[in-house]
Amino acid sequence: MNNTLEEYKKAIKIKYELEKEGEHFDYLYSPSRGKLRDLCWLIFENNPTQDDLNVFKNLLCLDFDHTKKNKFKEQKDKFRPIETFFKGETDPLNIDAINLAAVIVDFQPRPFKKFNEKCRIEEAKQIERAEKDMAVVGVENKIIEKEGFVEHENEESKEHPEKRNSLFNFAAIFSKKIAQRIYPRKIITIGVGAVALVSSALLYFVQKKD
């Protein structure tokens, strides 16, 4: 809130520096309480908004009334904080004086409540934009990670055929060695069996002749 109020006052002061060279030069270039009072009356004679009328009443403690100009002229000292603010001599704390200063130089948005609301809206939009930007960055990072993963997988897939060939070669060599160990035994077994079979047959024929 304090930072926003300071921004509000700075913005009004900047607007004053522009306006003092313009249409109301005679009132603003070298401001005094009397000049600011007279300019204020001139401004409020031209269809003021309800917000401005509320500011007028809050600071001067009376309603704006065309028929009570003399009463209004007695309020000159109420413009002193605005005078010293425009001259850069003081930093006003009275929010009603600050709001009336905004009316005098036609600063928008005013009063401070509306200025504060606009700032909050702008901050919310900035936060929303920042969150969207972060979300986009997050998606982009995920895409980059995914592309990196796919690239890594492709590199590994290029290496796998060599690994598979190595495995097949190993299996073939292993099978060959097993076969070399197993086949001689089978051959010997078959040979022994054949000899035994022939011997049995010869013995049978000899016995039969006897």
In this structure, is residue 49 part of a structural domain?
Answer: yes
Residue 93 has what pLDDT?
93
Which of 26, 20, 21 lies closest to 101, judged by CA? 20
- What the block records as the tokens of 65 is 């009334």
Residue 152 has what pLDDT?
73
Residue 61 has what pLDDT?
96
Q: Is the pTM of this model over 0.85?
A: no
In this structure, is residue 27 part of a structural domain?
Answer: yes
Q: At 34, which helix (H) or strand (E)? A: helix 33-44
Q: How far is CA 174 from CA 143, 168, 178, 184, in A?
A: 45, 10, 6, 17
In this structure, is residue 137 part of a structural domain?
Answer: no
Report yes or no: 77 and 32 within 8 Å, Cβ to Cβ: no
Report yes or no: 39 and 24 within 8 Å, Cβ to Cβ: yes
In this structure, is residue 189 part of a structural domain?
Answer: no
Which of 176, 179, 197, 198 lies closest to 187, judged by CA? 179
In this structure, is residue 157 part of a structural domain?
Answer: no
Residue 165 has what pLDDT?
57
| H, E, C per residue of 56-111 | HHHHHCCCCCHHHHHHHHCCHHHHHHHHHHHCCCCCCCCHHHHHHHHHHCCCCCCC
- What the block records as the tokens of 165 is 């060939």
Residue 208 has what pLDDT?
54
Residue 56 has what pLDDT?
98
Task: Provide the domain count of the chain.
Answer: 1
In this structure, is residue 9 part of a structural domain?
Answer: yes
Residue 173 has what pLDDT?
58
141 HSE (CA, 13 A, CB side): 6
Q: How far is CA 154 from CA 106, 150, 158, 161, 162, in A?
A: 68, 6, 6, 12, 14
User: ω before 81 within 30° of 0 (cis)?
Assistant: no
Radius of gyration of the chain (CA): 51
CA 112 vs. chain centroid, Å, equals 28
Residue 142 has what pLDDT?
80
In this structure, is residue 45 part of a structural domain?
Answer: yes
In this structure, is residue 191 part of a structural domain?
Answer: no
Q: Cα–Cα distance between 60 and 88 in angstroms, integer?
A: 22
Residue 150 has what pLDDT?
73
Tens-binned pLDDT, residue by residue, of the chain (210 aa): 678 999 999 999 999 999 999 999 999 999 999 999 999 999 999 989 999 999 999 999 999 999 999 999 999 999 999 999 999 999 999 999 999 999 999 999 999 999 999 999 998 998 988 888 888 888 878 888 877 777 777 776 666 555 555 545 555 555 555 445 544 444 444 444 554 554 565 555 545 555
Residue 72 has what pLDDT?
97
33: containing domain: 4-111
